[in-house]
Structure formats: structure tokens, C-alpha cells
Structure 1
Amino acid sequence: MKQFPTDIKFKYPWRSYQQRVLQELESHLNDNHLHIIAPPGSGKTILGIEVALRLNKPTLILAPTIAIRNQWIQRFCELFLRTKSTPNWISINIKEPKFLTVSTYQGLHAACSGKTIENKDYKIAEESSDDDLQFSNTTAKTIIEGLKKEKISTIVVDEAHHLKNAWWKSLTEVKKNLEPTIVGLTATPPYDVSYNEWQRYIELNGPVDAEISVPELVLENDLCPHQDYIMFSYPTPEEGSKIKEYNNNTQQLFTQIKADTILKSKLLALRCYIQPLQELEWIYSNIENYAAILIYLNAVGVEISPLHLDVIGDKNFKIPELNYEWIETLLTFYIYHTDEDKEYRELLLNKLKRNGVVNRKKISFAQHQKRNKLLSSSISKLESIKEIVDFESLSLGNDLRMVILTDYIRKELLVSTPKNTLPLTSIGVIPIFEKLRRTKNLSSKIGVLTGSIIIIPFTALNQLDYYCKLYKIDTIATTPLSYDPNFLVIKTSERLKQNIVHIITQLFQEGHIEILIGTKSLLGEGWDAPAINALILASFVGSYVLSNQMRGRAIRTQKSNPLKTGNIWHLVCVDVLDNDGGVDYSLLKRRFKAFVGVSLDSNPRIENGIDRLHLPTNFTTAKQIFDVNQKMFACANNRNQLELSWKKALEEGITLIEEIKVPFPSQQNYKQVTSLYFNKTIANLSAFLVSGIATFGETILEIALRNINRIKTLEHLLSFVTVAGIAGIAIFGRLLYRTSSLYLKHRDISKDIKSIGEALLASLINNHVIKTPREKLVVLTSQDEYGAVFCHLEGASTFEKSVFITSLSEIIDTIDNPRYVIIRKATLFNLIDQKDFHAVPELLGKQKSLATNFESNWKSYVGKCKLVFTRNIEGRKILLKSRIHSLAASFQDKSERVNTWK
């Protein structure tokens, strides 16, 4: 077989954005790559199949999971071949390729390692563990030869990022040897990775050719208006006691390590402490470790020699207090990166492991593993699920089509006794089913769909029989739930297995099941039910890629319901002892970076990240959590407003822009704070001057009157006034400096970022990193009502924009270990000097000529500066000083990459 059958054709009309990509296909493939970014629900799979058909050569498709692999085959057969049976020229075995071979990245790597694990489980690629599989050149050569023999010339890579390094090796080896056309498809490009990782991703997929955004799909009515909501809960009393116990144990461990005289003596004996001047090269390369040693020793009563402050470059430097972060840095360094006393280090490590603060060589006092697991899988989430179900049932009535996705089945709670009163002590499909069954009206239409257990309401039996006959399934075995005849358990046969998911989906679509509970492995990927209008993500295991896949189930449009909206509910158990909300909340914040949606305010905007929900910065009381949940319910209840918010926000922009966001470093409103600082400066200045002049004037007048007889001439008077003036400057100058510098520190930084962005752009153009003509490029900055500053590059390619944002982040974020540093000089009223340290981005710091060009552009666009090379003694000293001060800062808001509709 040398080409696809000629009669293959997509059975539906193309969507406008799909048609646009296909029309431009020839120009996109000039570099033998097609790279498309498209969210769940955009028909990404269909587009990939059509491109492969148009290339019309033997094809290999690689997917991140088995479920998505199967989806590729299912969609191809159903929507192109219009058959339910898979033709014999399609293979899922990478070792036995055919004209069309569909595999997974893990399957490819396993084959290249001489193993077979392709059908092992449903795990997403990045969560699977195959560390024991070693790439084998001999075995890989056999796999490649097999692909060559089949003349594989097109490789479609689906979500090819966040892969294990070993998997990249297998993938790269195949690409190098076959020299195929690469079709790269992703919903979540890895913009947040390092430049090298991004380069690796781009080398595989090629530069981004086309990007389809969520707002664009909502605008075209291919995705429905939707919103993410969060339901917060407290740990149960039992869980709270365990968390408190874990925290107490961790604090006791912290205290014990502080009191560890052996550790103290070992640190005092380190060369970097005894003779720092002889160990400057090590210190400059290990600044955090050096700082952690000084901070620990200072905390345990050791007087730090001025010599160390000289090394830091600041004799007045105040050594920070020892906290969990610093002791983690210290212990990680001492245990894993020194050769000191192996026996003692092992004893220390075992002690940390016994106390649960070590996970895969990562020491973390704040992230206690047992406490984290307790929060993420808290039983309080069962009550949250019940409250959400009650709310959505009341809100939508018989129109409710809710799906609840979770990680585990917990089939041990499904008993065969006349009663089921087993305590619900874990989160899972059956515990959720039981929670709802026990507390809801028995007429509720609840169903369960997993690979091994299927439950439907008794009222759906007739429709089940109808669909079974439709699929020519003569007999179906159902038995009433032993403890509740209102529900039926379906016994699956081999014949039924092939169609049962589709049949249950149809029952759900038609309303015979209103609440469907299932596992993310079966329903979270590659499953489609357009009727879903409410989704609860009760999953606490998994990546943000998978979270976005699951979320995509609820945001698709439904042809029969043009007014459909989707509510997506996320569950968080708050750690009451952590002002930031705890690890469960932190994980959700990270996941929200992949979710683009509309903000919850009167001036709606479309962006990614959790900030759009305007949640409290910390959680301290039960009332606070109650108030937030009530706010969520109030917003979720107004689905008409949700549609209007999307409409209003969509009118404010034309495209989704990736930009850098610098948060305003305060919990207070930006305008209040800037006004506060400015007013404080002016008010303090005025008050000091007025009261000062009054007091000072009174004093001077009193002295003058006492000495009136000595002032004989005008010269005497001028001398007296001059001395008084100098005294006044000495007294009030310091106050003026303090208050003015405070305002300078909190001045509007949007102008600075604009200027820095211009300097950066000029340098990237000069050094041929950005190749788009200068006249097409614009650095745009803005500021929102909360004080956050935004900056992006307009007119560049997706790759160029990403390089610009990455480089700008390196400049304005905390200094790490750059080759060059820019010392920026600023003044206020030509009186106050202030120095700020900025890293020269990695791209521009590789060569002196590039860094010097950046310095020149900085002077042109930003102002005075000095370029410092940090790989010599003097430069290292400056770098050390800037990094120590950054590390010691009590509050440091990092910039972040955001997507905003503008």
C-alpha cells in the first residue's frame, strides 16, 4: 500500500479556522514542519488526520496516552472512513508498523529499549514511571529499520512536550533517521520551560504556524461560554488533628536540627566558612548554600565574622532569620552535595525521611508528603461535591447534565448486603455515588461509568434495552443494587464492552442519567458528551495537561442547545495553618495557568490564571471560606450573566496575546497604595518642613535673641543664617531622603518596563534573534486597576514573542547566576541615587559583544547603567551582593507569563 484510499473524506464541513489552516498548508510546510496550537474542542485530531491524508504518505501518529491513541483511530474510522471496524492497514504495534501506525511516546521508547509496555495502563505520559527502561541503540535501530521499510514519511506528534528526557531521545533518534514531515499538535505549549527546553520543543515541531485560541472558539460558537469555580473546604476534625500533628512534628524536627551540635561543628569546619577569601570561586558559584550556612550558624548563636560580610560586600547586611526554606537549602547542600562524614549524613537523611520531609531526594519542611496527601484527598471534598450537586440540581432542574471525574473507583464500598452503611473514608467513584445516593432524593438520576463497574437508574432500563437492540446485543444482564433497587448494576460481556460507553453516554445525553460519575482514565480523555453543562473535577492526581483535557469535556457546544453554558467546579481543601491556603490550593493555582477564561468582575476580561477569580490572598477563618463559596454559588447561578460577560469581554479584543505580568507587591488596592506612598512622602515632607521649620525657627530665633548683642554687622547675620541652614539640612535632609526614596521605590514601573522592553527588542534584532522587520514591531505596556503591569511584543512571530517574554522575565526577576549584570542607576529630583541590579538575559549574555550591545541600548532607552562581567572576582562580588539581597528579601513577587485577550 503506497497511499491512502482515494475515497476517504471528512464527513462534515470544515470550521472556518480549520479551513484557514488547510488553505495555508503549503506555505506552512516549507520547512517540512506544521505546528498547530489548538485547545480541547477545536477539532485538533480531525485537523491532524486531514493533514496526514493530504500529505498522503505512510504515517506514524504518536499520542501521550493509550486513551488518546485509541481516540485517533476511532475518529479516523468514524468521521473519515465511516466505518466502525478498523481496517487491516492500521497498526497500534510500533514493532509491526503498517501504512498508518498509531502508538504512544511511552510505547515508542519501550520498543527502543527492548520492552513491551504499550498496553499497560491509562497513565498520562509524564506521570508514568519507566525509569528502568534504558535506550538501546541496537534495538532502536531495529525499530527505525522497520519504520523505514514501511517508508514512514509523516509523523504526527500530539502534545509532544513535558516528556521524559529518555522519551525525547527515542523521538529525536526516529526523526533524525527518517527525516519525515512533522505535524505537531498541542493544546498547551510549554511556554513556561527554559530556553533550552523550548528550543528542543521547537526543533521537533518547528516554529508555531497557527494558533487557535479558546476565545476565538467561543466567538465562533464552537465552544460555549464557561466559567471555572472553586469550592473550598476545611479538613475534617480528624484530618485537622493529623495535620496539626504533622506540623508539630515538623517544627520539632526543625528545632532538633537547630540544636544539632554535630551539624553545627561540621558547618564550622567547612572551608568556605573558615577561609572564605580562599574559597571565593566556590562561594560565588554556590551563593544560596553559602548564605544558608551563615544564616544557620547565626541562628544557633555563632557570631558571624565581619570577614563574611566583606565577602558579601555589605558590612551593614542584616542576616535573615532561619526558616524552613533556608534549612531545606542547607540540608540539601550538606547531605547531597558534600563528602563530609558519610555516616553522619546518612543518619541525618534517615531522620528526615522518618519525619516525612524527603520525597525523591527533595527536602521540604513546608511540603510534608502525608499532610499534602491528606489535604488533596480530604473527605471534606465529599461534602463539597454534595453541596455543588444540590446547587446545580436546584438551578437547572431536569436540564442538569453533570459529570463528576475522579481518580479511583474504590469498589470495596460496593457491597452485596441488604444495607450499605459503610463509612465513607476516601474519595472515589463509589464513595461519591454513595454520598449522593444516601443524601439525595431516591428519584435522582445518578449513574456510574468505569471500566469495571457500571450503574444506571432503574428508570433508564427501557432506554438501555432500546440501545442494546440497536447495536444488535440480544441479552444484557442487569441486577438491582442489593441495598437499593432504584439502581441497576450492569454486567458487561465482551460484546457489550465495545459499545457500553457509547450507550451510557447516549442515556446521559438524553437525560435518563443526569449525574454521571466516572474515572478520569475512561472519561477524562477522548470522551465526548456535548450535553455536559456542569463538571466537577474531583481528581487530585495528574498534570495540568490532563486537567485541561478533562475540563474540555464541559465547554463544547451542543447543536440542540445553542444557549448552553458550562460550569466547571474545582475542589480545594484549605490548610488552616497556612495563610496562603496550603498545598492543595497552590497546585490548583498552577493548573489554572493552563485555563483561559473570563474574569469575575463588572469589567470582564479574558485571561489565564487564577487571579481572574479575585480570591482572597490568604485564608484564616471559616467565615472567609463560607463567604467565598457563597460568592461562587451566586456567580454560578447567573448563567445568563456568564454569557453576557463573555460577549462583553470578546468585544474588547481580537486575539489572545502572550505577555509578561508583574504583580503589584501589595494586598491593598494599587491606587490606594500608590496614593498612600506619594501622599506619605509629600505629607511627611510638608509636616516635617512645617513643624521642623516652626520648631527649628523657634530655636534659632531664641538663640538669635540671646545673642543679639553679638550680631553687629550684616556679615555676622549672614554667617549665622548659613550655619543655621547647614544644621537644618543635616536634620531634615535625612528625613527627606527616607520619605522620597520610599516613593521612588514604589513609583509607577510601567514606564520602566516599556523602556527596558525597547532596549531588549533592539538588542534581539541587532543579534538576529528576532528577524521580523522593526517597523512591524511594537512593545506595548499597560496597567490594570490592581496595579499589575503587562508587557508584550506586537507584530512578531509566536516564537519571537516567546523569546522576548522569556528574556524580559530574566531581566526583571530575581537575579540567579547570569554571566553579565546591568547595574541600573536612577535618581529622584537629582538628589537621591538608587541602584538596581538586573540580569542580562542568557541569549544576550553568551558573548561580550552581545552584552555590550545590550548595555548600549539600555543607555539609549532606559538611562545610566554599568555592565558587569560576573565571571571574575570583582564581578562575582557584585553578583553575590545583589543575589544575597534578593534572597533575603521578605517579599518578592515574580513576574509571570499570562495569556490575555486584547
Structure 2
Amino acid sequence: MDPATASPLSTWHFSGALRTYQAEVLDRLEPGGDDPLHIVAPPGSGKTLLGLLLAAREGHRALVLAPTVTIRQQWLRTATELAPEATAVSDDPDRIADLTVLTYQLLSVTGDGSPFDDLALAVWTDELVASGRTEADAATWLAELAVDNAGRYRSGIRSRTRRLRSRLTRQRPAELARVLHPNAVALIDRLVAAGVRTVVLDECHHLLDHWAIVVAYLAGRIRERGIEPTLIGLTATLPSPDDETEFENYSNLLGEVDYEVPTPAVVKEGHLAPYRDHVLFAEPTPAEATFIRRHESLLHDLIRQVLSTPDALAYLEQQLQPDDASGEEEGDAALARLDRAFSTDFALTRSCALVLREVAPQHPLVAAIPPVLLDRYTTDDLLTVLSRFAHARLLSDPSAVRQWEYVRRSLADFGYALTDRGIRRGRNPVETTLAFSAAKDHAAVEILRRELTGDDGDRIRAVVVTDFVEHGNNRGLAGDAPAGALRTFELLAVDAVTARLRPVLLTSQHVRVRAEDAADISRGLSDLLGEAVRVADGVGPVRDLQLRGAGSGRVVGAVSELIRRGDVRLLVGTRGLLGEGWDCPSVNTLVDLTTVATSSGTQQLRGRTLRLDPAWPEKVAHNWSVVCLIPSDVDLDDGSESARLRRRHSHLWGLSADGEGRIVSGLGHALAAPVVEAWERVLDKDPSTTIGDIDSLLRDQWRPRARTRAEWRIGEPYTPRERETISIRRTPRAPLLRARQTATAAAVGAAVAGTATVGALVAVLAVSGVSLSPLLGVALALGGGVVAATASGLRMLLRTLRDRARPAEVYRSAAIAVVRTLREAGRIAPVDESAITARPDEADPTRIRIEIGGRAQDAVLVADAVEELFAPVRTPRFLLRIDAAGLPRLRALERLADRLSPGRTLLAVPRMIARRRGDAELFRAHWQSQIGSCALHELTGVEGLALLRLARSADDRLDAAEPRARVWG
């Protein structure tokens, strides 16, 4: 039978029971289509089986591409179980079978440069040939251009590279073949000739650059035979869209995600172990602290040497008092200039104000700046002002060359390169010190000690993962061992508690153990590998094991087996070896000492602990992050560690740390609100809180693994939906109250109606023979009107009091106003408003959570707008002014309303709505309909600047601990 039309996989059979989501994928995704199939599912969710069943359904010869040898072996094992005979499966590129499993590297490009650069050069050459040059002449001219005008050459390559990347999947195979190795081209041609039509791309998030070219070439060659290939992409996580061109390659090949299996669903169905994320905060070692304090001292020197000079003070004044405020009184002019400066560049103006207060606290401008903006200056504030001043005043002044050089060298110490083109961020030594602090090694010891003292201490099987074997930068700290797996292992091996775990260091070049364990572990490895393992000679507490001829994959597998047996209970290694593809179900504790924060890297590392352990059916995994913070008594700032922690957990789902049983993403599943607040105080240099205080709070909230398992409620029904959440803090100075635009009119109407009613009653009495004087009748009628108006006002007052008691309803109404505006403006699809909810937090009634459900993309847009609505005001186009209570203008009621909500509330109209005035007016109308009286103000002129200053002095409504998160289930 012609291999191009055969159905070689149609007889493959799976006799087991499919998981719920596997069956749903097979049911939802129809076979035989021309579009790619794109599936996202966590490690351990059965992607391998799912991919094979999808390929078998297509009924054609298939190729599986895997990123590592270890993952390739997993595919081979599962495929052999499904295939009717072993010969139907192959991992030999010289023997193409019904299902062939290869690594991406076998088809990869060669060379050190970017393959897109090579393609761009080829395209440029073709363009020159088309214009009349010979190919040799074109190549010579381009080579000379690269030397004589390197900037112009790079620009030409970049512009063509951008075009190539944007249309990668439409490139002709002949063009793509120009950058592939001839062996790779020959192998792809053999695969196509053998009838391969289905291509399964495992861990397809790798398809960002050169591997994308390989797959594009393979797909193009299949199409040249008149056949549309079926691409099946499987990954645990989508790649980061930070590099737009690389992400475009990925999306062009695989399209939108067809099905995503959330990790909580797999846990709740019992196919992954329940888990909890933990964080341990550490502070630098004494030697590192000395290094950091030297930078703190340098900061103070910079203030004294540079920013306290008359020239620097004049620069700060100019930034805070821009020109063009003529025609106003002197005092008003100063405020108007200040408002204009904030409106033009809020961030720079605020930084200048903070620095001015530091260097000249008695300066008249300091008193004019709203106090809410003058908290504390940060290192970034100082460095921003310093670099701007250096460019504006020092670079252009020949007499200031020595001061320019001083600033340039000082900034270099902080990781900034100051040139005549601007300033760029380089390697920050303080950031490096914190990222690879030796304190993190000690934190790993502390974590394992705590785990061993728990109820399940005897079951602990832990892995400690680092970025490197040895990091090349020791920050100039003489005598310090370089950071990395070797340094971490040395400490774990000598600690009396962690040594009981019989730790093993495993890297591509090392297998290291404690001297006391060397004989036993070497015998165990020798039995598993079937070859001699020798203990190297040495002195001290550790020994290296020598394994000749055993590949890294076999060694990793053998050590994993020792962990399963309990002969080894602690493994130390790098993420390159122990990340993607490593499978050891017995591991239940991860200590992550890496700097990984991307979605793909984070998910892969966390996936190592989530496999079910046959030896412990009640397994619960603990995943630890370690963060090194500069103590609050050191003025130097560095937010890199904190930002990394936030980015890392933004990709992950987990049980809420507040103990509510909710499943959330973001820091809320690792840190409870009181811990986050204490952490923020340390970052703000609040002397009342130390890093030790944070640790005490974390210890108090420690939950046993059994409780974690119970909170997951495994096996119970669940609703597979996601919602965006925004957390609001109720502000006592300006609560959000419902108001009626027609409140005054209602009071007048009530007065008229009351007067008419009483007047009619008087008339009836008169007709009935009751004698009343005309004056008394008029007085009674008017009195009735006053009583009716007062009753109407009291009803509005009672409604205001009810809003204070149940504020969540008003915040939901605000979110509904946003939803309706975006929908009518055509920004989102119709939304089921019942999916918009708001409720007080059970543990903290001052916090209100607004939840937004519906289509994921629309929910994110709505949540972004709601978050911006209640965020601190910066530089909006429109402000929404909200009446305090919207009560009738009765003086007594107004005074009471002012006590309830002093002044007026000013909210920034979200930018997505404020782009068009018509949309902003639409938002005002919806707010008025849902909540009550409001007015829209466009920020122009002096009045607009005054309103902006007032808005910026308002209390922050967003919850500082965790303003934004997602909820699942």
C-alpha cells in the first residue's frame, strides 16, 4: 500500500479508562481537519497518551518530536503499549516506522548565529541579484558593508529578519532549507517520502526560533506533496509573549489553544498530587550585607556630591516649576506649574519632589507638594533623577567633565551604563548578590528541617534545584565559594539534620555524596547501571562517584530509583538536568533556588513534585520559593527578588493561603494577606517590621499536609471556570455610596405631592362641614409637603446608611457600569451580568472582592478597567466626580452626609474607555443609572489640574496586599 494513503495507526488500541478531560479533548476536537490541534495540559496529566490517541485517530504515519532523550523514552514506552507490534515504533532516524519518535535536535540547525539572520542575509543577496548584480558580487558587497558600516548592515539584517519571522509559515521550503544542515534536510525528506503526515510536537513551547524553522520546513515539504499536514502541539504552558516575534512564530504554527487542562482539575480528579506553595524570606549573610551597605553609603555620597549642588537644585526647581503660567498670582502660579509638571510626567516629577525634600527639606516647593506623594524616596527615584540631571546639565558643560565621569562610574556600580545616548540597565551587582545569596543555601537547610519535623517527616523525598553548577560571578567577595549546586550541596551535606536524608549532588559532570554514604550509594548505582561505580579518593565530608560510560539519562534514572527506594531522600541539581522531562513520582518537596520566573520554566519545575506516588497514596507536595530581602534598616532598595516572586506565582494555581478553600492564582496562594502586608512594610523600610517578623507570621500559618489534602476536596464535583478578581479596601474617608441623580427632584416631587394630598384632605373636610380657617388650611398643606420631603430625604439617608453596611453591592454596580460601557463601545462581547459578583472577604470585612467571569479575554479587559478605576490616580484624560451621597439639599442632611463621606470622590476613567469622549460619556450615563449622581471632567486648563491634584490626594482603594488575582472553580 502506498504509505501516503495507508492507515497504519488505525489498529492501535487503548484498553484502559480515559480521564475526564482526555475524553473531553477527544470528543471536542474532530479528526481530519486542516487546522493544527493545540493543547495545554500540566505535567502528569497524560499528555503522552492523549497525543498518541489523537495521532492514531488521524490514521496516518506519524512523527513525534520531543525536546529531550528522557521524554523521547516516555513516548516510546507508551507507544509500544498501544501498538499491535513492536516494529511499528522506532526511534531510529534510519528506520522510519508507523510512529517514529525523534528529538528536535536531530532536525535542528547548525551555527552559532541566529538562523533568521542567515535567512535574512540570503534574502538580501537575492534582492541584490534581482537588481542586476552577480551572486559573487552581491556577497562581496555585503561582506564589505558589514565591516565598513556595521550599523547599516545590522539595520538591513534586522528589517529583513522581522519580515521573515512574521511570515515564517509561508516561506517556501527551498528558502528554509538554506539554513538547515544537509543531514537534517535529508532526514526530513526521508520522513516525507515515508508518508509521514501527522507531526506531534511535544513541549511545543520550544517552537520559538530555530525549531520553528525545522517544523515549518517539514510542514512545507509535506504540503508540496499535495497533502495538508496535521500538527498536534502539546505543552504544559504557553511561551511568554514578551518576545513578540518569537511568539508570533509559535502562534503562526499552532494557532489558538484548542483545549487547556487546568492543573486544579487534574488534582481534583485524583491524577496529580494535591500541593501547596510556600515561601521563606531570608536576609543577606554578614559579608553580603557589608557589600550592600557599601552601596547604601555610595547613594548618600551621590546625594551630597551631586544632587545637593546649586546647579542640581536649580534643575529640580525647573522640573517642578515648568514655564508658562503667566497671568496668575504668584502663589497660584507655583501650584499651577506644579500641577502641570505632574500632568506632563508624573513619575519623574514625583521622583524630583522626593529628592528635593531629601536634599533641601526647607525648600518652599516641598510644602506645596501634596503630602500623599511624599512618602519615601527609593533607590530608583534617586538614580532616575541623577541620570536625567547628568544628561541635562553635565553632559553639555565642558567644565563638568569630572562630575560627569563621577556620576557615570557611580551609576556603573549600580548596574547602569550612562552614555551620551541615554541610560540602560546592565548587570546589577546588588540584584546578583540577592539572587545568588549564600543565605538561600541556609534557607534550604531550614526548610528541610521544618519539613522533617512535620507529621510526614519520614516520607520526605526532596529536591533542591539551582540555576548553575557554579555561578561565575562572586560579586567581588573574596574567599566566597561561587553560588550554585556545588555550594548548596556542601552545606546540606554537613548539616546534622539534612545529612540524615543521604543527599546526592547530580549534575552533568558530578555525582557527589557524603563520605559516610559513598559505599552504599555506589553499590546501589552499580547494581542499577550494571557496571562498576568507583568512589574517588578524597578528604573532607564529601566524595565524588566515578561512572564510566553511563549516559546522563541512565544516571538520572538510577538515582531516581534510589529515591523511590528511600536509599536517597535528597537530590541537589540544576534545572537543566532536573527540570523538563525528569520524572520521579516519589519526590514530594521542591526547594526552588533558581531565578526562573517564566510561565514555562515555573510550571515545569513545579510539575516535578505533582506525580502520584504509588508508595504514598495520600501524597501532598510542598513547593518552596526562597526570597532574599534587604532588611528594613538599610535604605538601599532592590525589588528584583520581590518582582520575581510575583511573576513566578502569577502563572500558578493553588489553594488560597488565607485558608478559605478557594483556588487562586497569584501570590494569594502562597502568602496570606497579613504576610504580604508585613512584606510590603519591609520593602517600604518600615522599622516596625523585620524579616524575622514575616517568618513568624509564616510559621503561625503553617498547615499540615493532611489539612492541605482535605482542603483540595479531591473527588468532589467542581465547575471548571475561571474568574478575574479585584480586591478593594473600603476607605473610611470616602466610601463608595449609591446616590440618586433625581434625589433633589424626588424631594421636590414629594413636597408637591404631600402639599396636594393634604390640601385635598382639607378641601374634603370643608365640604363635609368641618370649619377650618384658610390660613390654617394652607399651613396644613405646606406642612404636609415638608413632611413628605423630609420623609423622602430620610429614605435616601437610610439608603446611604445601608450602602455603608453593604458596600459590595455598590462596587458590583460600578463593575456593571464598566461592563455595559465596554460592551456598547464594541470592546467586548455580550457578558452575562450574573457572572459579575462582589462580596466582603469572610476573614476581613474591610476587603471587598469583585469577581468577573465570562469569556477569558473579555474578563481580563473588564478587570483591567475596574482595577484602573479604583487605582491611585495618575494622569487620566477624564475624572468622574461622584456626589458624596446625592441627598436633597437640606442643610441638616448635608452635614450628616459630609460626616459619612466628606467631600467628593474623584475616580479616573479607565484609559480603554477614555480614548473616545463618547465612550466616557457613555460610562457616565451608566454610572448614573447604576449608582447615582456624577459628573465627567476632562482634565484641561487650571481647573483640570486642580481636580487632578485633589484626586491624587485621595485614599488608595485597591488592596495593597493582592489587588488582582484569578479564581478557579
TM-score by length of 1: 0.71
Kept in 2, the 8 Å contact 1:760–1:808? The answer is yes
2:139 is aligned to: none
1:705 is aligned to: none
Correspondences of 1:124-523 after superposition (within 5 Å)? 134=158, 136=161, 141=171, 145-146=175-176, 158=203, 187=236, 209-266=258-315, 273-275=322-324, 284-290=343-349, 292-293=351-352, 320=374, 323-324=377-378, 325-331=380-386, 333=388, 341=396, 347=405, 350-356=408-414, 358=416, 369-395=428-454, 396=456, 399-410=459-470, 425-440=481-496, 444-455=501-512, 457=517, 458-469=519-530, 475-480=531-536, 482-483=538-539, 489-493=545-549, 495-523=550-578
Change (3 A) 1:521 1:55: same
Q: Distance in 2 between matches of 1:339 and 1:378?
A: 37
Is 1:899 matched up with 2:957?
A: no
Cα deviation, residue 354, structure 1: 3.6
In structure 2, runs of 5+ residues without a counterpart are: 121-153, 178-187, 328-336, 473-477, 738-799, 889-893
Kept in 2, the 8 Å contact 1:811–1:840? The answer is yes
Structure 2 residue identity aligned to 1:858: W
1:42 is aligned to: 45
Is 1:15 matched up with 2:84?
A: no
Change (3 A) 1:270 1:513: closer
Tell me the SS of whatever aligns to 2:520: helix
Cα deviation, residue 451, structure 1: 0.9
Cα deviation, residue 114, structure 1: 1.8
2:924 is aligned to: 855
C-alpha offsets along residues 148-172 of structure 1, whole Å, 9 cap, x if unaligned?
99698979595759979x9999999
Aligned with residue 719 of structure 2, among 635, 638, 654: 654
Q: Distance in 1 between matches of 2:232 and 2:918?
A: 37
Q: Distance in 2 between matches of 1:169 and 1:339?
A: 49
1:594 is aligned to: 651
Structure 2 residue identity aligned to 1:88: P
Structure 1 residue identity aligned to 2:528: Y
Tell me the SS of whatever aligns to 1:899: strand
Tell me the SS of whatever aligns to 1:392: helix
Cα deviation, residue 377, structure 1: 2.2
Aligned with residue 933 of structure 2, among 859, 864, 869: 864
Q: Distance in 2 between matches of 1:356 and 1:154?
A: 49
Change (3 A) 1:71 1:262: farther
Number of equivalent positions: 783
Change (3 A) 1:354 1:756: same
Change (3 A) 1:638 1:172: same
Change (3 A) 1:462 1:630: farther
Cα deviation, residue 81, structure 1: 5.1
Cα deviation, residue 516, structure 1: 0.9
Is 1:566 matched up with 2:621?
A: yes
Change (3 A) 1:744 1:263: farther
Tell me the SS of whatever aligns to 2:729: coil
Cα deviation, residue 294, structure 1: 5.9
Is 1:536 matched up with 2:541?
A: no
Tell me the SS of whatever aligns to 1:553: helix
Kept in 2, the 8 Å contact 1:58–1:152? The answer is yes
Structure 2 residue identity aligned to 1:811: L
Cα deviation, residue 24, structure 1: 0.4
Is 1:878 matched up with 2:944?
A: yes
Change (3 A) 1:146 1:407: closer
Structure 2 residue identity aligned to 1:390: R
Kept in 1, the 8 Å contact 2:522–2:533? The answer is no
Cα deviation, residue 43, structure 1: 3.4
Structure 2 residue identity aligned to 1:564: K
Q: Distance in 2 between matches of 1:750 and 1:826?
A: 17
Correspondences of 1:716-755 after superposition (within 5 Å)? 750-755=808-813
Cα deviation, residue 88, structure 1: 1.9
Q: Distance in 2 between matches of 1:263 and 1:171?
A: 57
Q: Distance in 2 between matches of 1:161 and 1:843?
A: 34
1:638 is aligned to: 704
Cα deviation, residue 23, structure 1: 0.9
Q: Distance in 1 between matches of 2:699 and 2:219?
A: 50
Structure 1 residue identity aligned to 2:860: S
Q: Which one has a bigger Cα radius of gyration?
A: 2
Change (3 A) 1:356 1:861: same
Cα deviation, residue 450, structure 1: 0.9
Q: Distance in 1 between matches of 2:689 and 2:40?
A: 42
Q: Distance in 2 between matches of 1:429 and 1:267?
A: 48
Q: Distance in 1 between matches of 2:835 and 2:880?
A: 24
Aligned with residue 804 of structure 1, among 862, 866, 871: 862
Cα deviation, residue 815, structure 1: 4.2
C-alpha offsets along residues 616-636 of structure 1, whole Å, 9 cap, x if unaligned?
344579996557556656766
Q: Distance in 2 between matches of 1:277 and 1:169?
A: 62
Structure 1 residue identity aligned to 2:271: D
Change (3 A) 1:98 1:61: closer
Q: Distance in 2 between matches of 1:845 and 1:558?
A: 54
Cα deviation, residue 659, structure 1: 1.7
Cα deviation, residue 389, structure 1: 2.9
Kept in 2, the 8 Å contact 1:445–1:513? The answer is yes
Q: Distance in 1 between matches of 2:200 and 2:323?
A: 59
Kept in 2, the 8 Å contact 1:35–1:206? The answer is yes
Cα RMSD of the aligned pairs, angstroms, is: 5.6
Aligned with residue 607 of structure 1, among 664, 674, 680: 664
TM-score by length of 2: 0.66
Q: Distance in 2 between matches of 1:49 and 1:336?
A: 61
Aligned with residue 111 of structure 1, among 112, 115, 121: 115
Q: Distance in 2 between matches of 1:193 and 1:661?
A: 24
Kept in 1, the 8 Å contact 2:721–2:968? The answer is yes
Change (3 A) 1:566 1:506: same
Kept in 2, the 8 Å contact 1:822–1:855? The answer is yes
C-alpha offsets along residues 161-214 of structure 1, whole Å, 9 cap, x if unaligned?
9979x9999999999999987766565569999999999998886555433223
Kept in 1, the 8 Å contact 2:506–2:573? The answer is yes
Structure 2 residue identity aligned to 1:752: V
Q: Distance in 1 between matches of 2:507 and 2:396?
A: 53
In structure 1, runs of 5+ residues without a counterpart are: 92-96, 117-129, 413-421, 470-474, 667-672, 679-741
Change (3 A) 1:224 1:17: same
- Report percent identity of matched pairs: 21
Correspondences of 1:669-748 after superposition (within 5 Å)? none
Kept in 1, the 8 Å contact 2:723–2:966? The answer is yes
1:756 is aligned to: 814
2:93 is aligned to: 88
Kept in 1, the 8 Å contact 2:104–2:211? The answer is no
Structure 2 residue identity aligned to 1:24: R
C-alpha offsets along residues 739-766 of structure 1, whole Å, 9 cap, x if unaligned?
xxx9999987533331121112222332
Cα deviation, residue 299, structure 1: 6.2
